[in-house]
Structure 1
Amino acid sequence: MRRRIAHIVIITVAALGLPAAVGTLGVRRAADEVYPQRAPSVAAPERAAPALDPGRPTVAIVLGSAGANVADTLAPYEVFAATGRFNVVTVAPTSHPVTLTGGLDLVPDLSFTELAAQATEPPDVIVVPQLHGPTSEVVEWLRTQRRQGAPLLMGVCVGAEVLADAGLLDGRPATSHWLKLIGLRRSDPDVDWTEGVRFVDDGDVVTTAGVLSGIDGALRVVERLIGPTEAERVSRELRWSGYRPGRPVAIADEDPGPRDLVALLSAAYRWDRPTTGVLLADGVGEIELAAAFRPYTELSYLARLEAFSVDGRAVRSRHGLTFLPRSGWNPARPGVDRVLVPGGASGGSAALGDTSIPVVALHDSGEFPFDGALRDIADTYDVATARWVAKSLQYPVPDRELRGPRWPWRLTAMPLLLAGAGAGAVILVGRLPRLRRGEAPVWSRWSRKRRIGSSGGR
């Protein structure tokens, strides 16, 4: 009996251990691909540091040396830039290109040193998105800015963690991404962490909920520094329907749920993750770019993205940011499974010439850019994943119905097949010695005993 119990235990461990081990390796690989390292195949163009107009407030959006979240960075940038009333610059510890989520390489406008050379006082507004990698340089810079003046600080999503690390949120109310709040309450108990609102305005510190809530936080700053009329105008221009002047919009208190399992399945078992090209072209909107990168990578792990331009040269976005492609376009050897065209850049497929691979124009005019990305994910992958992406963005699913497969059943089958393979391998190994000795399999011996017992009964 003990041997049988031990055998059952070993089979159970193998059935659970194999999918867990394979899944762990898959998750690590997927996480590493969110910020893929850049090879210096495209040199950064010569740049002159932008001149700051002393008659305008300056907004500095901080980047980490190792990377920053693409939506946390570009969405507030476009809000401030669309007003035409601010000096809006991206700043980083150095002037080297910074990789944003999914492999979009951004050339900072100014390094910390260059900004200090131009301005005798800190920026009027400092925006801190989620940063990738070590943050010690940014934390020290933020402390220095605070000591030298009283800038308005804005933490977007997980960027609130950087402000907390700098000691700038102690004893104050703040918010962050719903998934990150679980850990922040433990790591930073001196902060009064709040949920259920798009942003928390605590005077000289504004913090926002997840990802696209950064738009609301930026609009709130515009409202305070310029006025609600301008904030409403910009929200309409960007097709953002969530803004309400004078107060933050209440949002649902989110928690992990069973339907969120799609994220783990994708990270652990999507071994055939496709390589998807993203066409960069001059004049593309910053939020349109964010919608082409964030939904397919971080927390969804749907594709490996390859940013390219038609001629392989750097491009300038609608409001003047410089982005470096990873390659140029080679129609004979595209190297990607399909192409996403943010904002209908330069005619999309027409700019690429004759190509046999699918070319997807992500955005329709008159809608918020992330709506198109969610529709594409539902159609290309499944609706459950599209809804998870919307939840991770803290963005309500668009009114129009998402169409596509309802659930990733093939991915769901992978851990079950691995469990069966693990259990089967243990059973086979246990039977090999008997097979070598020529003994009948267990089922054969059981069958024989039943026949003998039946004969005896007669």
Structure 2
Amino acid sequence: MTWRFVLTGGLGLAAVFLVVAGGWIVFLPSASSAGALQPIPGEETRATVEALKPTKRVRPVVAVVGINDGTEITDYLMPYGILRRADVADVVALATQPGPMVLYPALKVEPQATIADFDAQHPEGADYVIVPAMVREDDPAALRWIRSQAEKGAVIVGVCVGAKVVAATGLLDGRKATTHWYSLEAMLREHPSIRHVADRRFLVDGRVATTTGISASMPMSLTLIEAIAGREKAEAVAAELGVANWDARHASGAFTFTRPFALTAIGNSLAFWNRETLGIELSQGVDEVSLALVADAWSRTYRSRVMTFAASADVVESRNGIRIIPDEVSASTTRMPAAPLGRKPAEALDDTLKAIAERYRENTADFVAMQLEYRRRVTPQ
């Protein structure tokens, strides 16, 4: 596991001590250069939607693919859950190999099929392939399969650091792209022909799309729904999610490695005596989008880790058919102080960040939001 991935999926002591040992923390900026969000020209938005329209089937097939031992939880479950909720496509959650998937930084799930199963059922390939961040950006099986799907005409969507996986296939060579703010420099260094475009939450160039950090898979998924089924359908799903706007507007300067970010990482990582395990209770029909966002956020505080529990060891099936394997039977850990899984997903994330601020202070909530590449919505008191 590279420490770049550890940062985007939970920073880790290796990155923290690199900052300290380097002695350059004093030279970090004291704040990000957050500017106002600039509107996206209507022509650009229309071109993006047009480029994403399905060309193979009236009802498209969407494959969300990951490796079994380290696929980012929100990158994997959020596009799946949103697209399944919309019911405008046949969506399947895949793994490269048989057996359960250990998602990062929390949750264990059963994939619905392997990539070999998918190829047998859909020899003509998918219409869309969603590629999350993976602990191994050069996994041979994943890269071969993504290339093969592109050759069959699928639109490839690299979510967050999944863009680096797509880049490793060669599909981003010479194209416009973006990725999580922390991995951008490394991606451009490793693939210098990629043309980064700032201040865009997602980009489409030809038959390849990429997004910024973890939370960007929500607007990307809504844009796919709009391309498949129209604006009215996307608006209805957005209302269910608690999202008011899902265009590509983004303030890239708001997300950077700052002194407060580094100091929070150091302080929380070194407070090992004050770290806790929080249990999140699973129930049949749980919304996998809210679950992913809540578990992901609490797992990024460096003050807590997340375990799941249920009344029995039996798998728990989510709202849209993801089979989740509980970590524990009954709760042997502290119950999570706020797990608003019944709320709209966007509201669940905001509530979770608020709860993190109350438990671990505002700087930790800001630290988590920065990792998610998410602008906190602070509710007036």
TM-score class, shorter: 0.7 to 0.9
Q: CA deviation at 1:30?
A: 9.7
One-letter identity of the residue aligned with 2:144 = E
Gaps of 5+ in 2: 1-11, 18-56
**Alpha carbons 2:82, 2:289 under 8 Å: kept:** no
Structure 1 residues 251 and 30: CA distance shift in structure 2, 3 A: closer
Q: CA deviation at 1:297?
A: 2.0
Hey, what does 1:284 align to over in structure 2?
Answer: 286
**Alpha carbons 1:89, 1:109 under 8 Å: kept:** yes
**Alpha carbons 1:313, 1:328 under 8 Å: kept:** no
CA distance in 1, matches of 2:244, 2:369: 15
**Alpha carbons 1:95, 1:109 under 8 Å: kept:** no
CA distance in 1, matches of 2:260, 2:308: 31
CA distance in 1, matches of 2:203, 2:350: 26
One-letter identity of the residue aligned with 1:143 = R
Instruction: Say which SS state the counterpart of residue 13 (structure 2) adopts.
Output: helix
CA distance in 2, matches of 1:241, 1:249: 13
One-letter identity of the residue aligned with 2:335 = V
Measured against aligned partners, the alpha-carbon deviations of 1:316-337 in whole angstroms (never above 9, x if no partner) come to 11111111011211xxxx431x
| Mapping 1:169-318, distance limit 5 Å | 169-244=172-247, 248-253=248-253, 254-260=255-261, 261-298=263-300, 300-318=301-319
Hey, what does 1:372 align to over in structure 2?
Answer: 351
Worse-superposed segment, 251-260 or 360-369? 360-369
Instruction: Say which SS state the counterpart of residue 182 (structure 2) adopts.
Output: helix
| Mapping 1:69-218, distance limit 5 Å | 69-133=72-136, 135-147=139-151, 149-218=152-221
CA distance in 2, matches of 1:29, 1:323: 31
Hey, what does 2:332 align to over in structure 1?
Answer: 335
TM-score by length of 2: 0.81
Q: CA deviation at 1:313?
A: 1.4
CA distance in 2, matches of 1:140, 1:315: 32
Q: CA deviation at 1:29?
A: 11
**Alpha carbons 2:132, 2:161 under 8 Å: kept:** yes
Instruction: Say which SS state the counterpart of residue 212 (structure 1) adopts.
Output: helix
Q: CA deviation at 1:365?
A: 3.7
Hey, what does 1:50 align to over in structure 2?
Answer: none
CA distance in 2, matches of 1:97, 1:381: 33
2:340 pairs with 362, 375, 379, which one? 362
| Mapping 1:368-447, distance limit 5 Å | 368-400=347-379
One-letter identity of the residue aligned with 2:68 = S
Instruction: Say which SS state the counterpart of residue 218 (structure 2) adopts.
Output: helix
Measured against aligned partners, the alpha-carbon deviations of 1:356-394 in whole angstroms (never above 9, x if no partner) come to xxx544357456210111011111111111012112212
**Alpha carbons 1:174, 1:207 under 8 Å: kept:** yes
**Alignment length, in residue pairs?**
327
Gaps of 5+ in 1: 1-25, 32-53, 341-358, 403-458
CA distance in 2, matches of 1:88, 1:131: 20
Q: CA deviation at 1:176?
A: 0.4
Instruction: Say which SS state the counterpart of residue 77 (structure 2) adopts.
Output: helix
CA distance in 1, matches of 2:342, 2:145: 40
- Identity of counterpart residues, as a percentage? 29
CA distance in 1, matches of 2:341, 2:102: 23
Structure 1 residues 30 and 304: CA distance shift in structure 2, 3 A: farther
CA distance in 1, matches of 2:380, 2:70: 34
Q: CA deviation at 1:217?
A: 1.2
CA distance in 1, matches of 2:363, 2:335: 23
Q: Which has the larger radius of gyration?
A: 1
Q: CA deviation at 1:292?
A: 2.4
Q: CA deviation at 1:56?
A: 2.4
CA distance in 2, matches of 1:162, 1:279: 32
CA distance in 1, matches of 2:205, 2:143: 20
TM-score by length of 1: 0.68
Q: CA deviation at 1:250?
A: 2.8
Hey, what does 2:322 align to over in structure 1?
Answer: 321
Instruction: Say which SS state the counterpart of residue 257 (structure 2) adopts.
Output: coil
Instruction: Say which SS state the counterpart of residue 395 (structure 1) adopts.
Output: coil
Q: CA deviation at 1:94?
A: 1.6
Hey, what does 1:445 align to over in structure 2?
Answer: none
Instruction: Say which SS state the counterpart of residue 321 (structure 2) adopts.
Output: coil
Q: CA deviation at 1:101?
A: 1.9
Measured against aligned partners, the alpha-carbon deviations of 1:97-156 in whole angstroms (never above 9, x if no partner) come to 111123300111110111111112111000001012362210111112223x11011010
Hey, what does 1:431 align to over in structure 2?
Answer: none
CA distance in 2, matches of 1:142, 1:202: 17
Relative contact order, CA 8 A, sep 6+: which one is greater? 2
Structure 1 residues 364 and 64: CA distance shift in structure 2, 3 A: closer
